[in-house]
Structure 1
Amino acid sequence: MTTTELSPTTVTSKDVDLGRIFTPRTIAVVGLKDGAGFAPYFEPTMHSDAEVFFVNPKYDTVFGQKTYPSLTAIGRPIDVVYCVTGAEVTTQVAEEAAGLDVGGLVLIAGGFAEMDQAGAARQERLLDAARRGGMGIVGPNGLGYVNVPQHISLTIASDHKRRPGGISVVSQSGALLSGIAMAAWERPSVGLNLLVSAGNEAVTDLADYIDYLADDPATTAIALVIEKVRRPKEFFAAVRRAMVKGKPVAALKLARSARTQELAASHTGSLTGDAWVYDVAFKQAGIAIARDPEELVDRLAILEQLDQKYWTEAANVAIITFTGGFASISMDIATDEGVNVPPLDDFRDWVSTNLPGVKVPNPLDATGLGTPIWPEIVDKYAGSDDVDALLFVHPLADEDEGIGVAVTETFIAQAEVVGKPFIVSNCATSLGTWAETLVSKNPGAATGRGPRSTMRGLQTLGDFVRSRAKVTADEQRSAVVPRPAVATVPQPEGSMLPFADTMKLLENAGIPVAPYALVGEDEEVGDVPFAGPYVVKLADVGHRTEHGAVVLNVSATDLADAVEKMRRIAAKDGLAPTVAVQPMVQAQGEAFLGIQNSELGPMVVFGLGGIFVEVLRRVGGRMAPLSTDDAYSLIAEFEDVKVMHGFRGRPAWNHVALAEILVNAGKLAAGATEWVGSLDINPMIVTDDGFLAVDALCIVKD
């Protein structure tokens, strides 16, 4: 039994005060003893402002303080219980705490739902205790948490160097917190607030933590390490709240390959999902995506340093250097990381006049000629309406202080004047101490750790500002689409909605469908209300080609024979006998449009249809419902293929009509999520007059 099979969590951040857990005034420590291997990691807590009580009936003292035989014996309200005992005793401690005034628990032990049936039963007991006591639980099967500024260390994780700051981290893989702490320490201007190991998330999960951090005044940015999102709806609602509050979210999704998925499941008991779905959903939600701990910190470093009033879309970044090599590599990396560096052609005359021999205004290689007019260069670029962020790349190590102070001071001074972010990056690795100190005094300036790290931070800054402008704290809602009250048709994939009901479903959703006529088992063909030639097929069969159950280019005189042929195939193969007749549609192209119920919720999948699906093996997706902007951005993903955007004299597809169809498909996906398992429209024909769904396969949930 895995954690995903347990009863859904019903104790949330709205039911409990997570502040009592993460900023406690009183702490009870259960099971710790002097000499324990991880006792030194708790030691900083003894120097915090919290009052600490030790519960251990086997010892008279721990850390020089008297012990208590139980939580009850303390006789005081306890904000958080930190328990380092085995699984069964841990469960008993939680059950005792449920009857006391306890804010929550931090549980380290394994042996719960990640193990076996007995462990799953213990985890249910934890959940029941949490419900009765109104408590949050961090863990079990985790490493605890650290509140860096308040020196509270309820963790068995190594005491890596951590400086106080605004980035809070929640990780479903506790050990990765060490990598994040190390990466943050290597960036002198970056500090950490909360480091939380989520463990099994028996009670309190990612959604709860994000919801708490959205309101936490000490948190400026949120970093996540994710194996699986257990409650997608609540998770994305919490992310929206954080964004509205001005707190960017970045995520490192683990288990991206089959083998790492197996590894993840073996140590947490949590099944992991399709990484592509996570990428689609996170990008759409405005969550920055990282691939390793260092990139996770890179994504948030600039946002954590800058005062919010200096945040811009970073849509037009000016790069200024003193050497061609730094200019060249910065431009290459900017292209890789999706940061726009406009050519600033209007600057060409000014640059050539003032810097003879320099031809490219952006990135600007000011060379040695630029030193005498450095203030003028900075003023020129800072004042441009075509620039909304500036980056200075230069050797700025400790050894460069003598020549670096003046140029750096001149550069960052303009930040407060023009209200734009000014980023100072060493040519590689972190800046020297003098430069970090200098930049930190200016709220509109931030440091970067080499061009790659810096570009990632700029890209995240711009993407967050754009995403935040579009997001609202409330979820988009779609009207409920009722399930048709008809019998389904068994298929290998599951229960199929009949052809006619599927086409009506699409039509009612605002997705254009091709004309069709149905001929029942005992019906005459009669007059068809549209001109031929025709397509004749068995209507309620999912995979017609396997049965030869479709005939093309049927003339009016041959229509009856074609219908009879379909009936013979149905009788021979035991298939539903209803026949569908449709006109042959002249196509400019074909698109694929699908609806899937992913583990993160309903999703619209889109791409080129016909042979392109198999040849390119490429589709795009958006979580439902979609906004019009989502639809256009999805279409834009295929611009490089050119088929949709016009090529070799062929006209571009009608993107306005296509975007409307995608939005309508999103409304259908969201409105029918309770009963639609999947719905594939392939092909959706592109005609001179627009788009037509000529066929669709809808699998419904049993």
Structure 2
Amino acid sequence: MLTVDYAARRSIVEPARLRRFFGARSIAVVGASPSSSWARNLLNSLELGGGVKDVRFVHPKYDEVFGKPTVPTLRDLTEPVDMAYIMVGSNRVDGILADAAAARIKNAVVLASGYGETGADGRDRQHRLARSAVEFDLTVMGPNTIGFINAVDGVAPWAVATETAPVAGPVGAVFESGSMARATYQFAQAHGVGSTLWASVGNSAVLTSLDVLDYLIEDDNTRAVALFLETVREPDRLFALGRKALEAGKPIVVYKAGRSEEGMRSAMAHTGAMATDDAVVDAAFRQAGMVRVESIEELVATAGVFGYSPRLPRGRRMGVVTSSGGGCNIIADLAAVNGLALPAWQQDTSARLAAHLPEFASVLNPLDTTGFGHARARPRPTKAEDDLMEIAVEDAGIDFMFSMMTPLPDERPADPAFIESRMGIIGEIVTAAPVPVFLSSNTCLDVSPYARSLLAQNDLFLLPGVDLAVTALGHVARWVEQRDALAAGTPDAADPPAAASAPAAGPAAGTWAEDEGRALLTAAGVPVVPARLVTSAAEAAAAAAEFGGPVAMKICSRAIAHKSDIGGVLLGVADADAAETAYGTILARVAREVPAADVRGVLVSPMREPGQELLVGVTVDATFGPVLAVGLGGVWVEVMKDTSLRVLPVDAREVRRMLAELKGAALLHGARGGRAADLDALSEAVVAISRAALSVGPGLDTLEVNPLRVNGDRVEALDVLVTTTAREDS
């Protein structure tokens, strides 16, 4: 297959180049025929955008197109243009790119399909296009793209139907799907979410979604980014851009296609069943400081609230004032689902609110103001929820305020004094409030141009419907926590923890015997319960006597991954005599269940006192590489499926965060009379296990310690499973 120099490709899509690309003021449309709906849509979009005054046409067969004269080729232009929009079949694109280079054009959009999405021939064609772009120093979007809309500058080479001028705003968006770019753009425009840039990268032969993301992070007008991904091509760069965005204070909201069960992979160990493809993607986005959402509507709403909110909440405590009792119930349910708290109003707030409510009213959070709405006339043009919200925002026990507004008029009323004065007062309340205030409509209604102007004039943003609103606010609260945690420091992916080589390597492909796995852990500094590998009944008795108490005995063989399944484990063996008998029992069981197994011996180790058991495992994800899973181990691993994931490497601080995420985290803090775990010692042990996994190199398939037992400050690995696989790069 043809290859493209990575550094050379990056040089033509760096943010400085993209500023010129997205700011093109003159465009040559190549191959547009009078009957082409794509061409008509493109011209309409350019006209609505208003920022491109110089549009020329190139066609070898027509003297004019849409009433404008043409030239046969780009080489025949009298002077260069900023961009060529190429609307020819894939078999002609390479020649057009050569013409563009000869005409000193530096930017091109390629509409044509028939590339990487069509099979081996199409992939070769796409690689040739990429090589040509690098050779000609051309920044190319596509192929198989509909283009982009730069709403700030009014540059809109967008080849699908649109009916209104683009609404400028603080949200930048990049899509790996043209149809979803179009649909989501329409949804955003209808709900008053304005954009800096809305881009469809198509097949990303040259310009990728991460290139556009990099540009948007550096763009001064963009405050939040919406990202629609079909796949993650450059995971290391994704993390780097996540860090860059955090440092710039720009939230990235991601919709990643593909949560289906078909995307889940299985592995021999428990870890592989928990570290499914989609769960790893979730973990990776969290580590990158990005917010993952479940729908394109959530994508727009969440990016919108980030983009339009000058202040973000400092916590999850939400105050609610609304004019609907039913709405209060809905909001309370949604708050619980999204991890938002609804604390009772503080005493002074309750007293102030009660003074304005009828005697039958309940002063609750969420607060239903319906009774107040009929209780008295107001001396200013407001509604009940406005006046009571102004009181409630002063409550010291909330981190932010949320109000579900009554509908705004679609058109300017004959007497607009009330609504326009009211919106001005709400804007003043929101600006003066000591906590951020978020507003939503009742349902996901379109925002009319008049309503949008009312909001914009008063620096207000209306979230689209209560369901999306509360969901988005849950995402906001989680992102703030991620930002603060990641700001405290994370390991440098370019400088992973040192990984010692195992003194006794296991097989290049297959299951390691447990003594080989134990040697691997020990070399990496993992505390491991002592054990002796014995090859006779007498040696078993001597080992049991040496440990001086009940022992555990386990078969040791590369052929047996799950020893207990075939009766290869005996626990609580009382003394030397019992150990001598147990040795024969174990070998007899193995001979019966796995007669061809190559047995290395039996491991004898001391029994340990009860403690909390964890599973710590590492599997290799096809995209992100080694992934660490930490969860409740022992019998709980199958019952609770309580696991936290991270892409390696990690440090002890990150492991502490993983432990805190577990539903069973209270057990580590001494719940129900248990002994609290030394979380520092536990975290260091987990880091050492990840170090052991990394030491295996590219052949690693799975490394699992189950259980890792912790009792106070004693942390020990009691069992380890390692599997490797032959890889091309191993």
Query: For this structure pair, what is the TM-score category when the shorter chain's length is used for normalisation?
Result: 0.7 to 0.9
User: Which one of 610, 615, 634 corresponds to residue 639 of structure 2?
Assistant: 615
**Aligned partners of 1:77 and 1:666: how far apart in 2?**
56
* Equivalent position to 2:603, from 580, 586, 589: 580
1:513 corresponds, among 525, 528, 531, to: 528
Question: Residue 590 of structure 1 aligns to which amino acid in structure 2?
Answer: E
| Structure 2 residue 435 is matched with structure 1 residue 414 | no
| Structure 1 gap segments, 5+ residues each | 262-272
Matching residue's letter, 2:187:
A
Q: How many residues were matched structurally?
A: 681
CA distance in 1, matches of 2:577, 2:238: 59
Other-structure match for 1:38: 38
Which of 479, 489, 508 aligns to 2:497? It is: 479
Q: Please, which of 467, 478, 482 is the counterpart of residue 463 of structure 1?
A: 478
Give 1:65-464 correspondences, 5 Å limit.
65-74=68-77, 76-77=79-80, 79-94=82-97, 97=100, 101-159=104-162, 161=164, 162-188=166-192, 190-258=193-261, 274-307=277-310, 310-313=311-314, 315-346=316-347, 347-355=349-357, 356-366=359-369, 367-368=371-372, 369=375, 372=378, 377-398=388-409, 408-418=423-433, 420-430=435-445, 436-443=452-459, 445-464=460-479
Which residue of the other structure, out of 612, 624, 628, is the alignment partner of 2:648?
A: 624
Judged with a 3 Å threshold, the aligned counterparts in structure 2 of structure 1 residues 501 and 41 are, in CA distance, closer, same or farther, namely same
Give distance in 1, aligned partners of 2:79 and 2:510: 59
Worse-superposed segment, 6-15 or 622-631: 6-15
Distance 2:658 2:497 in 1: 23
Q: Please, what TM-score do these two structures have when normalized by structure 2?
A: 0.82
Identify the range of structure 1 (514-523 vs 14-23) with the bigger mean alpha-carbon deviation. 514-523
Tell me the TM-score normalized by structure 1. 0.85
C-alpha deviations, 1:326-345, integer Å up to 9, x for none?
33332222222233332223
Asked whether the equivalents of residues 537 and 584 of structure 2 are also in contact (C-alpha less than 8 Å), the reply is no
Distance in 2 between the 1:242 and 1:165 partners? 18
3-state DSSP class of the match of 2:35?
coil
Structure 1: how far apart are the matches of 2:394 and 2:441? 24
Give the letter aligned to residue 552 of structure 1. L
The separation in 2 between residues aligned to 1:15 and 1:540, in whole angstroms, is 55
Letter in 2 for 1:619: T
3-state DSSP class of the match of 2:361? Answer: coil
Q: Deviations over 1:640-666 (max 9, x none)?
A: 696556555445555454444445555
Q: Hey, what's the Cα distance between the residues in 1 that align with 2:35 and 2:463?
A: 42
State the 1:608 CA deviation.
2.0
Shift of 1:673: 6.3
Moved more, 8-17 or 293-302: 8-17
> In 2, Cα distance between the equivalents of 1:664 and 1:99?
58
8 Å CA contact retained: 1:127, 1:202: yes
Q: Which residue of 2 aligns with 1:539?
A: 556
Verify the 8 A CA contact 1:251 1:290 in the aligned structure 2: yes
Note closer, same or farther for the CA distance 1:260–1:84 as it changes in structure 2 (3 Å cut).
farther
CA distance, structure 2, for counterparts of residue 527 and residue 394 of structure 1: 75
Q: State how far apart, in whole Å, the 2-side matches of 1:72 and 1:557 are.
A: 94
What letter is aligned with 1:495?
A: G
Query: Relative to structure 1, is the Cα distance of residues 404 and 48 closer, same or farther in structure 2, using a 3 angstrom cutoff?
Result: closer
Determine which of 560, 569, 589 is the counterpart of 1:550. Answer: 569
Contact 1:626 1:667 in 2 (8 A): no
Structure 1 residues 693 and 700: CA distance shift in structure 2, 3 A: same
CA contact (8 A) 1:301 1:457 kept: no
Change (3 A) 1:280 1:121: same
User: Which is further off, 410-419 or 432-441?
Assistant: 432-441
% identity of equivalent residues? 26
Once the two structures are overlaid, the 10-residue window that deviates more, 471-480 or 153-162, is: 471-480
- Is the alpha carbon distance of 1:536 and 1:429 closer, same or farther for their aligned partners in structure 2, counting shifts above 3 Å? closer
Distance 1:511 1:406, change over 3 A: farther
Equivalent pair of 1:489/1:498 in contact (CA under 8 Å): no
Deviation of the 1:534 alpha carbon = 2.1
Residues 478-521 of structure 1 show CA distances to partners (whole Å, capped at 9, x for unaligned) of 2342543644336xxx4345534533443454543211223479
Q: What is the SS of the residue equivalent to 1:590?
A: strand
Greater shift in the superposed pair: 114-123 or 619-628: 619-628
Aligned counterparts of 1:547 and 1:20: Cα–Cα separation in 2: 67
Contact in 1 for aligned 2:174/2:226 (Cα 8 Å): yes
Deviations 1:426-482 (A, max 9, x none): 333446766643442344x43223322222332333333333334459863323425
Letter in 2 for 1:398: P
Change (3 A) 1:42 1:596: same
Q: 1:438 to 1:618 in 2, by over 3 A?
A: same
Distance 2:224 2:8 in 1: 25
518-527 or 405-414, which moves further after superposition?
518-527
